[in-house]
Structure 1
Amino acid sequence: MTSVSQSPRSFTSGPSLAEIQHAHDVVSRVAKHTPVETSNYLTELLGSPVLLKCENLQRTGSYKIRGAYYMMSKLSEEERARGVVAASAGNHAQGVAFAARELGVKATIFMPLGVALPKLQATKDYGAHVVLGGATVDEPLRAAAEFARETGAIFVPPFDHEDVITGQAALGLDVVNDVPDVDTVIVPIGGGGLIAGVSAAVKQWGRERGRDIRVIGVQAENAASYPVSLEAGRPVDITVGSTIADGIAVGRPGTLNFDIVKDLVDGVVTVSDDETARALLVLLERSKLVVEPAGAVGVAALLSGAVQASAGELGRTVVLLSGGNIDPLLMQRVVAAGLAVSDRYLNLRLMLPDRPGQLARTSELIAAASANVVEVLHTRHGNGLQLSQVELQVSVETRGPEHKDEVVRILREAGYDPIVD
């Protein structure tokens, strides 16, 4: 078998199409051929066809199985006997654990203490030995590197490796095989393994046919290492802020990944957490798809206008939904945030006279506007309240911006002065 040692040739433009085809054949032993779904909602909104490549339905819940399996399939028998080690807060851990099980290799995965329980349990269920430690993934990464030095286990990196990139590139071939008339591919970016592989595949495939397929990357705005790195012309470290898109919260581009992105990718944009929450809600309601925040940033870029379809420039667009491993507790919070961003959830504060009947009257007015009260807090202890006043905090479900304005208007016409939070 071929060793995983680096090839002497240049890798700045990524793997060749022949290498990607070989990886596709290998990866297809374990990876599902995930469906492509047309999004009628996004198509109507943008005025050009939008399709969703559903890697959220992939085995292990994300595309990560592709790169992990391909790299590990190239290990020699001696290397396999040493076992593999990785560090991850979720998708990479599951991909490595699953690939190791399929190849009969012992896997040790270092994960942070705060890892979501479903991701932790899935990694264990695939047969990996899990070691917990550290508040962020940085400490497990250091521990995994030390474990590799001490035991001789093969470290499987999440994105910055030729074979990992080539394995992810197999997804790019799926895209052009499924949608041969694709014009634009939108890809989430963390360290850059996925977009490096996908761009190498679709660009080469397109050039062989005299076509230029655009590739656009999307990052979370609080973990956007690529825009500053591309401006500087080299990988730059950033401080990662808080983001719900933890699957792409990476503070520095991979070295190999950056070179390929710099050469091949047409642009990188960013989206906020609110925009990502709205995208998750749209995918859930309109497409009936459960997607994790990192996997939904491409849809967020379309909804927010970060990627625009001006003058039909996007053409037929495929958005990669890179994963679906979302903690149910996070899903609950994200749906609430998505409702608020979409003007479907209204928080009001009203100062009321402290006398009987005021709460009932307010409830009647909201009901008359056909809105639904979901939560109420009635208190005499708010800041700035007079002795004769109470504060009413109300959370209301609405149908959108116009309905939200109608609720506020009805309350004001009744003599109240609602404050919208």
Structure 2
Amino acid sequence: MIADKSKKEWIREYPKIQDLIDYKETIWLNDNIKSMDTVTDDLALTEDDILDAEARLKRFAPYIAHVFPETTDQAGIIDSTLTELTHMPKALESLFNQKVDGPLYLKQDNLLPISGSVKARGGIYEVLWFAEKIALNAGLISTEDNYIKFDSDDFKTLFSHHELVCGSTGNLGLSIGIIGAKLGFKVTIHMSLDARQWKKDLLREKGVNVVEHEDDYSKAVLQGRQDSLNDPNSYFIDDENSKTLFLGYAVAAIRLKAQLQDQNIKVDKNQPLNVYLPCGVGGGPGGIAFGLKTVFRDSVNCYFVEPTHSPCMLLGMMTDYHDRLSIQDFGLDNLTAADGLAVGRPSGFVGDLLKNLISGISTVSDTHLFEMLTAIYDTESIKLEPSALAGIYGAIQMDKSGTHIAWSTGGDMVPDDVWQDYYEMSKN
């Protein structure tokens, strides 16, 4: 039995489960989507929560600019460019015989400073939130001070008595490890089997303790959580359930609104915004989607895109069982080159919060990810890691009109030899 039903009963009630079991590319559209006005009062988080997170990031901006010179041009604000893809739509039509109805943009979180992935938004934010909390309690800072003070021996000594812990497929661990070590925290990252070696090596270079697991993401998170609970000075950053992490991602919507205005891109119900978000456990894309729905209300449609071998959020949201089901329950192997999305069990917190807000979820094969990875470099000279192509595929799967934004996840920090191997994959 799986939960309270047999596999046959699950498939009879939700026929798309058979397509998932067969690793077929699948599209699920959410019949339970509701107007934002009708669900706002029932949501666990609010617009004020997002604005509070944005204000905190602004307080830390002088510190970020000081210790990470690559952020100086943006005055310590961690954000990425919005790039129109002028040639990629033709490449997509050639590859898949499907047109994108409307302009296609890439939100280039592959270029986010400090850690080069979407996880720089949430992971870095939660570490800063925790650091601020400790410093305020210790009387070392007030919210009216210049936060450049965080780069001092007094603060580093204070933080050295605390440990940050998380479980990660790679990118979240990089974000937490880089900012945590910079502030002076002890950091332990539990890395799942699919995490890339270069990410583990980079973390160790930063002085981070990396614990390798011969199992998938869920087991790495479980071990990290258990270890952290045994130490009163340890703080566990939970990609599955953290509201703080979630809000760090949600701030992206405020930044995107300003970029759309700067580029004179109109967003309303007649010219909707369609956003396609690569999805693993759901924290990153869920936070961004929540922010987008809060800012743009019913004028934005948000879609998640997962690998065919790791469709945990689709399974959870389609059945409304969320984290009570895993893809392994149905025999899927959770093996994908899209390592950042290799998750077998989704976040129940994210699934429940967004069950009336997400427009749909689709899956994409690794073969198609590599074809698009090669195509976007050949046509736009943009280097992405496999996970980062999932959103682009969503733009042709959903067949919507309006303005399309594929959200990139990572790629800028991928070593040249590793990226070259990715590039050659679709050639072979």
Structure 2 counterparts to residues 238-249 of structure 1, below 5 A: 238-239=327-328, 240-249=333-342
Counterpart in 2 of 1:146? 226
* TM-score where L is the length of structure 2: 0.69
Change (3 A) 1:173 1:277: same
3-state DSSP of counterpart to 2:203:
helix
Residue deviations 1:367-392, cap 9 Å, x none? xxxxxxxxxxxxxxxxxxxxxxxxxx
1:73 counterpart residue number: 128
Q: Give the drift of 1:329.
A: 5.3
Letter in 2 for 1:177: A
The residue that corresponds to 2:46 in the other structure is 16
Please say if residues 218 and 343 of structure 2, whose CA atoms lie closer than 8 Å, have aligned partners that are also in contact: no
Match for residue 148 of structure 2? none
- Which deviates more from structure 2 when the two are superposed, residues 177-186 or residues 85-94? 177-186
Any idea what SS the aligned residue of 1:86 has? strand
Match of 1:308 in 2: 399
Mapping 1:265-280, distance limit 5 Å: 265-280=358-373
Which letter does structure 2 place at the counterpart of 1:23? A
1:234, 1:114 → 2: CA distance? 26
Query: Tell me, what secondary structure is at the counterpart of 2:290?
Result: helix
Instruction: Tell me, in whole angstroms, the C-alpha distance in 1 between the residues paired with 2:229 and 2:294.
Output: 38
Is the partner of 1:284 in helix, strand or coil?
Answer: helix
* Contact 2:177–2:206 under 8 Å retained in 1: yes
In structure 1, what is the Cα distance between the partners aligned to 2:341 and 2:180?
A: 23
Alpha carbons 2:253, 2:295 under 8 Å: kept: no
Pair 1:111–1:241, CA change in 2 (3 A): closer
What is aligned with 1:62?
117
Equivalents in 1 of 2:194, 2:118: separation in Å?
23
* CA positional deviation for 1:66: 1.9
The CA deviation at 1:56 is 0.4
Compared CA separation, residues 284 and 26, structure 1 to 2 (3 A):
farther
Aligned length: 322
Q: Deviations over 1:304-326 (max 9, x none)?
A: x32224xxx2x111111011154
Gaps of 5+ in 2: 1-39, 65-76, 91-98, 138-157, 268-272
CA apart distance, 1:110: 2.3
CA shift in 2, pair 1:121/1:26, >3 Å: farther
Name the structure 1 match of 2:107.
53
Q: Tell whether 2:424 aligns with 1:336.
A: yes
Q: Distance in 2 between matches of 1:229 and 1:132?
A: 27
Cα deviation code 1:337-375 (max 9, x no counterpart): 3235xxxxxxxxxxxxxxxxxxxxxxxxxxxxxxxxxxx
- RCO higher in structure (CA 8 A, sep ≥6): 2
TM-score (ref. length: structure 1): 0.70
- Provide structure 1 residue ranges, at least 5 long, that are not aligned to the other structure: 1-9, 341-421
Shift of 1:11: 9.7
1:307 to 1:330, Cα distance in 2 relative to 1, 3 A: farther
Equivalent residue number for residue 412 of structure 1: none
Q: Is the 8 A contact 2:303 2:394 kept in 1?
A: no
Number of the residue aligned with 1:120: 200
Using the TM superposition, give the Cα deviation of residue 327 of structure 1 relative to its aligned residue in structure 2, in angstroms.
Answer: 5.5
Task: Describe how 1:10-409 pairs up with structure 2 within 5 A.
Answer: 13=43, 15-27=45-57, 29=61, 30=64, 32-43=78-89, 45-58=99-112, 59-75=114-130, 76-77=133-134, 81-112=161-192, 115-152=195-232, 153-180=234-261, 181-182=266-267, 183-207=273-297, 212-235=299-322, 236-239=325-328, 240-302=333-395, 305-309=396-400, 313=401, 315-324=402-411, 325-326=413-414, 328=416, 330-339=418-427
Amino acid at match of 1:218: V
CA deviation after TM superposition for structure 1 residue 333, in Å: 4.0
- Structure having the higher strand fraction is 1
Once the two structures are TM-superposed, the CA of residue 196 in structure 1 deviates from its matched residue by 1.6
* Percentage of matched positions with identical amino acids: 21
3-state SS of paired residue (1:179): helix
**SS of residue matched to 2:299:** coil
- How many angstroms apart in 2 are the aligned matches of 1:229 and 1:26? 33
CA contact (8 A) 1:37 1:52 kept: yes
* Aligned residue identity for 2:427: L
Q: Cα–Cα, structure 1 residues 11 and 228, in superposed 2: closer, same or farther, change >3 Å?
A: farther
Looking at structure 2, the residues matched to 36 and 191 of structure 1 have their Cα atoms a distance apart, in angstroms, of 25
Residue by residue over 1:43-64, the C-alpha shift from the partner in whole angstroms, topping out at 9 and shown as x without a partner, is 5552411111110011211121
The 8 Å contact of residues 218 and 344 in structure 2, kept in 1 or not, is answered as: no
Conserved 8 A contact 2:88-2:376: no
The answer to whether the 8 A contact 1:112-1:134 is kept is: yes
Structure-1 residue corresponding to 2:35: none
* 1:73 to partner: Cα distance: 2.7
Is the contact between residue 190 and residue 219 of structure 1 (CA under 8 Å) also seen in structure 2?
Answer: yes
Seen in structure 2, the aligned counterparts of structure 1 residues 52 and 238 have a Cα distance that, compared at 3 Å, is: same
Instruction: Quote the offset at 1:147 in angstroms.
Output: 2.1
- Equivalents in 2 of 1:140, 1:241: separation in Å? 14
Q: CA deviation at 1:89?
A: 3.1
Task: Rate the CA distance shift 1:114–1:214 in 2: closer, same or farther, 3 A.
Answer: closer
Deviation at 1:228, TM superposition (A): 2.0
Specify the code of the residue in structure 2 equivalent to 1:154: Y
Q: Counterpart of 2:127 in 1: which secondary structure? A: helix
Amino acid at match of 2:82: V
- In the TM superposition, residue 94 of structure 1 has moved relative to its aligned partner by 0.6
Cα 1:277–1:43 shift into 2, 3 Å: closer
Distance across 2 between alignment mates of 1:139 and 1:237: 12
Secondary structure at the counterpart of residue 308 of structure 1: coil
Deviation by residue 1:384-406 (Cα, 9 ceiling, x = unmatched): xxxxxxxxxxxxxxxxxxxxxxx
8 Å contact 1:88–1:110 — kept in the other structure?
A: yes
Code of the residue aligned with 1:38 in structure 2: it is: E
Aligned equivalents of 2:418, 2:103: Cα separation in 1 = 31
Distance 1:286 1:12 in 2: 45
